[in-house]
């Protein structure tokens, strides 16, 4: 039982974590891209330092080659002047300079390899960042559209729930009005059938008292009287 509860708890935590990540996906993506951009900037600074170091070694190599050439010329002149001692001293200086030259050349080779690697890395990272930025804009637009749709649905739902209620209210109102009208008509008929006016009409029909309303015979007699010549 405890194992089941613990597994359920872990599942709930995992689901909540995934839901949080889904809701915060754009924020997480933005931060990840900022971190990646910072890493690319650091790589650019490293590349700049490598280029500067290569340029420095290049200037050192150029100066060393110039000094070697100058000393070789002077050592040759010393040999021609029978000053082998000076020529040997110059030769030792040249040997030291050649060691510096070789070291500078090796350093430049290493710098060149690192510069090439960093350039490839920076170019690849920048291309991927550009692609990510395009995808992020699309994702942000999709999220905005989904939010607008969700807002639109939420705005319509209250009216959707109210309209049926209003229609039911109108239907009940019309039913009550119809029932009330039918009751009023029935009451009028009852009054007409059993009221004083109905009783008077019954007495008049039996010859007791004047008629309450004209009959066809009354109208015909009135018309004949109008046509009779005046004596």
Cα–Cα distance measured from residue 94 to residue 72, given in angstroms and rounded to the nearest whole number? 7
Residue 75 · residue 98 · CB < 8 Å = no
What pLDDT does 46 receive? 92
d(CA 93, CA 151): 83
pLDDT in the model for residue 173 = 78
Q: How far apart are CA 157 and CA 207, in angstroms?
A: 73
Q: How confident is the prediction along the chain (231 residues), in pLDDT tens digits per residue?
A: 656 655 655 666 665 566 555 567 778 888 888 888 898 899 999 999 999 999 999 999 999 999 999 999 999 999 999 988 999 999 999 999 999 999 999 999 999 999 999 999 999 999 988 888 888 888 888 878 877 777 665 555 555 556 677 777 778 878 878 887 877 776 666 655 555 666 666 666 666 666 666 666 666 767 767 776 655
- Distance, first Cα to last Cα, the chain: 126
Look at the alpha carbons of 31, 35, 36, 38 in this order and tell me if their dihedral is positive or negative. positive
* Residue 145, pLDDT score: 83
Nearest to 212, CA basis, from 225, 227, 195: 195
The predicted structure's pLDDT at residue 143: 78
Q: Determine the Cα–Cα distance for residues 36 and 223; give it in Å rounded to an integer.
A: 114
Mapped onto helix, strand or coil, the DSSP state of residue 1 is: coil
Residue given tokens 């969700």 in the structure block:
150
Q: Is the pTM of this model over 0.75?
A: no
pLDDT recorded at residue 4 = 64
Q: What is the pLDDT of residue 229?
A: 60
């Amino acid at each position: 039982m405890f194992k089941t509860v613990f597994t359920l708890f872990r599942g709930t935590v995992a689901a909540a974590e995934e839901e949080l990540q889904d809701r915060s996906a754009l924020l997480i993506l933005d931060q990840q891209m900022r971190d990646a951009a910072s890493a690319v900037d650091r790589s650019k600074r490293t590349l700049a330092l490598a280029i500067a170091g290569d340029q420095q070694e290049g200037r050192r190599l150029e100066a060393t080659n110039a000094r070697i050439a100058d000393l070789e010329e002077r050592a040759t002149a010393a040999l021609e002047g029978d000053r082998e001692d000076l020529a040997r001293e110059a030769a030792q200086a040249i040997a030291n300079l050649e060691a510096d030259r070789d070291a500078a050349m090796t350093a430049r080779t290493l710098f060149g390899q690192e510069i090439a690697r960093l350039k490839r890395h920076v170019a690849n990272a920048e291309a991927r960042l550009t692609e990510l930025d395009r995808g992020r804009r699309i994702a942000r637009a999709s999220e905005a559209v989904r939010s607008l749709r969700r807002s639109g649905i939420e705005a319509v739902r209250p009216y959707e729930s109210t309209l049926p209620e209003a229609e039911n209210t109108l239907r009940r109102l019309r039913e009550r009005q119809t029932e009330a009208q039918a009751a009023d008509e029935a009451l009028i008929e009852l009054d007409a059938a059993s009221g004083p006016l109905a009783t008077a009409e019954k007495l008049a029909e039996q010859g007791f008292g004047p008629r309450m309303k004209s009959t066809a015979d009354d109208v015909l007699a009135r018309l004949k009287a109008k046509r009779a010549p005046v004596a």
